[in-house]
Amino acid sequence: MKILIIEDEERIANLVKQGLEEQGNVTIVAYDGTTGKKLALQNDYDLVISDIILPGLNGIDLCKEIRFVKPDLPIILLTALGTTDDKIEGFDAGADDYLVKPFDFRELVVRIRAVMNRKNGKSLPGNLLTRYADLEINNLTKSVIRSGKVITLTPKELKLLEYMMQNADRILSRAEIAEKVWDTHFDTGTNFIDVYINYLRKKIDKDFPSKLIHTKQGLGFIFKEEK
């Protein structure tokens, strides 16, 4: 693969570069966000790995700008900031995964493999609409409507909703959601799954008499119509 590494810490950039090239990849390194953005938008890459704290343009804004122009380009963010809010901000910016420093290079390899498998496994939707109760997703435009009301979701909220609808009436554990929606292992030290569930509840359940997302204490969540 051709991989763009955007990292201002030269030691980390060189370690990632060396490790990826030893596996047969071609890598290009940028040491600031502005240069990274220019390279990402002007050239073709299979993957972008970027730090968040960067000179010139931070990784969050960089991720948003890349995602706007190249929505299918996989992006993995690296950062020393590992709180739930930091992870949510990264995912909301359009990142495919988020790895907290310091990390084992082998973990980065696993994350890369998961992100690329997900990208390569994409297929065209078989049906135009996914429906459950009075909620529907247009699989082409990715618009969400419930009882005639248009609902605006972030990319990760949409992906979470799609997975829950595809697995309706079945209890989904936090570990399963983390693996299937975020392609990552669930970190019991953070509650970002619960945070996103709450975001989704406020948008698709709060203003409607019939609730669709329910918590099963000690087990996880279930997408099921209950009045």
pLDDT tens digits, one per residue of 63-75: 999 988 888 899 9
CA 132, 134, 137: angle at the middle one, nearest 5?
Answer: 60
- Rounded to a whole number of angstroms, the CA Rg of the chain reads 19
pLDDT at 188: 60
pLDDT at 46: 92
Task: Give the Å distances, CA to CA, from 74 to 1, 173, 191.
Answer: 12, 26, 24
CATH 3.40.50.2300 residue ranges of the chain are 2-120
| CA max distance for the chain | 57
CATH 1.10.10.10 residue ranges of the chain are 129-226
The domain made up of 2-120 has a fold known as Rossmann fold (3.40.50)
- Where the chain has pLDDT below 70, the residues are 82-84, 118-127, 185-189, 227
pLDDT at 127: 57
pTM above the 0.75 mark? Answer: no
Cis omega (within 30 of 0) on the bond before 102?
yes
CATH code, 129-226 = 1.10.10.10
Contact 168, 132 (CB under 8 A): yes
pLDDT at 122: 45
What is the number of other CB atoms lying within 10 angstroms of the CB of residue 195? 14
What pairing do the DSSP bridges indicate for beta strands 149-151 and 211-216? unpaired
